[in-house]
Amino acid sequence: MKKFMTILGGSALVLTACGGNDDGGNAAEGNNNDGGVEDDMFLTIATGGTSGVYYPIGGALSNLFEEELGADSSVQSTGASVENINLLGEDRAELAITMSDAVSQAYEGTGPFEDEEPNEGLRGMTSLYPNYVQLVTTADSGIESVEDLEGMDVGVGAPNSGVELNARMILEAHGMDYEDINEDFLSYSEAIDQMQNEMVDAAFVTSGLPNSTVIDLSTQNDVHIVPIDGEELESLQEQYDFFGEGTIPADVYDTEEDVQTATIMNVMLVNESLSEEEVYDLTKTMFENIDSIQGSHNAAQEIDLDTATEGMPVPFHPGAERYLEEEGALDE
């Protein structure tokens, strides 16, 4: 995985006034760049849909920053990775949980960001936990491999979401594209609902384990997770270095056996306009109270200081870098 360790100069805090709408405006007037987080600092944490993993983790962080630092913090439900990156660029969020593949593409100006200038201002705070690419179907569908999706109705995620980016890449690695399937641009919660109504045959669900919508499906149907392995997984990893590999244990969704699949690290990005002291305090507070974050969801139990740099595709913010260096967490 690409890791960047860049020492940047302290930056001035430039945040807009807090908006009174659901778009999550932000405000931090009066923050002292030299004194860390002050009581009147406003933090918007961009997460994902309320049925996913990002949202409860963001809620736990928001509560923690309010209790320990006195910050005024809110959690924003969003379309996840791509939207969150854009919110940071528009100064409408201070923190954002994203998948590292989308971050890498935004940083380099590729994929859904190919018509934009590379976003070289993206800064990392910490890596979080791995997402598992879960190609979900039911035992009755007869779908055993990615190739079996041909001609099927497949939920591929909301347009330009991290899930949809993964769906395109997985299909590509198997010599397929949207012309081979009937793609439905649905969030995974919508896709699972449609699967229960027999209107969708399979769905890409990229998230931590377990995913609540897949659990809901398993209460009514025998869930089958299609493996992503072999030469196709190797090809995927060779082409995109943010992909790892992992195993979905059989007891997660009561499947017949463990399933190998691709993984992608989730990362926490931070607005580059926050000062070094502010981000240092945010990072320190998170890791000194990591139990409260790990308790927010089963997937969050994998968040740990020892893996704080894994899969981070952009430079760390100077404040985060200073804390990680002090704790010996930066890779040599």
- Residue 1 inside a domain? The answer is no
Tell whether 232 and 135 lie within a shared domain.
Answer: yes
- Residue 332 inside a domain? The answer is no
- Residue 8 inside a domain? The answer is no
Tell whether 158 and 256 lie within a shared domain.
Answer: yes
DSSP 93-144: -SEEEEEHHHHHHHHHT-GGGTTS---TT-EEEEEEEEEEEEEEEEGGG---
Question: How many structural domains compose the chain?
Answer: 2
Q: What is the pTM of this model?
A: 0.77
Residue-level length of the chain: 332
- Residue 26 inside a domain? The answer is no
Tell whether 274 and 233 lie within a shared domain.
Answer: no
pLDDT of amino acid 27? 36
- Residue 284 inside a domain? The answer is yes
Tell whether 65 and 170 lie within a shared domain.
Answer: no
Tell whether 159 and 213 lie within a shared domain.
Answer: yes
Contact indicator for 317, 270 with CB cutoff of 8 Å: yes
d(CA 19, CA 134): 37
- Residue 273 inside a domain? The answer is yes
Tell whether 228 and 187 lie within a shared domain.
Answer: yes
Report the 10 Å Cβ neighbour count for 328: 9
CA dist 67 → 62, 72, 171, 223, 294 (Å): 9, 10, 45, 41, 17
Tell whether 180 and 254 lie within a shared domain.
Answer: yes
Amino acid at 87: L
Amino acid at 32: N
Who contacts 179 (Cβ-Cβ below 8 Å, separation ≥6)? Answer: none
DSSP 161-205: SHHHHHHHHHHHHTT--GGGSEEE---HHHHHHHHHTTS-SEEEE
pLDDT of amino acid 163? 87
Contact indicator for 326, 10 with CB cutoff of 8 Å: no
Tell whether 150 and 123 lie within a shared domain.
Answer: no
Read off the CATH number of the domain in which 64 is found: 3.40.190.10
- Residue 208 inside a domain? The answer is yes
Query: For the packed helices 100-108 and 81-89, what is the interaxial angle rounded to 10 degrees?
Result: 50
At residue 285 the predicted structure's pLDDT band, cuts being 50, 70 and 90, is very high
Please state the rounded mean pLDDT for residues 164-175. Answer: 93
The candidate with the shortest Cα–Cα distance to 316, out of 266, 277, 270, is 270
Tokens of 298: 């089963």
Domain boundary among 218, 240, 264: 264
Kindly report the average pLDDT of the chain as a whole number: 87
Who contacts 16 (Cβ-Cβ below 8 Å, separation ≥6)? Answer: 25, 26, 27, 91, 92
At residue 187 the predicted structure's pLDDT band, cuts being 50, 70 and 90, is confident
d(CA 42, CA 19): 11
Tell whether 140 and 221 lie within a shared domain.
Answer: yes
- Between 300 and 241, name the one with better pLDDT: 300
Judge residue 246's burial from the number of C-beta atoms within 10 Å of its C-beta, 0-12 exposed, 13-18 middle, 19 or more buried.
middle
Beta bridge partners of 244: 263
Domain boundary among 214, 248, 264: 264
What domain range is 244 assigned to?
A: 131-264
Beta bridge partners of 267: 98, 127
Tell whether 252 and 315 lie within a shared domain.
Answer: no
- Residue 25 inside a domain? The answer is no
The candidate with the shortest Cα–Cα distance to 96, out of 126, 132, 130, 66, is 126
pLDDT of amino acid 188? 84
d(CA 27, CA 68): 19
Report the 10 Å Cβ neighbour count for 59: 18
pLDDT over 70 at 112, yes or no: yes
pLDDT of amino acid 24? 37
pLDDT over 80 at 6, yes or no: no
Tell whether 237 and 259 lie within a shared domain.
Answer: yes
- Between 95 and 29, name the one with better pLDDT: 95
Domain boundary among 264, 287, 314: 264
**Host H or E run for residue 250:** helix 250-253
Give 24-57 pLDDT, tens digit per residue. 333 333 334 445 665 578 999 999 888 788 999 9
Tell whether 199 and 284 lie within a shared domain.
Answer: no
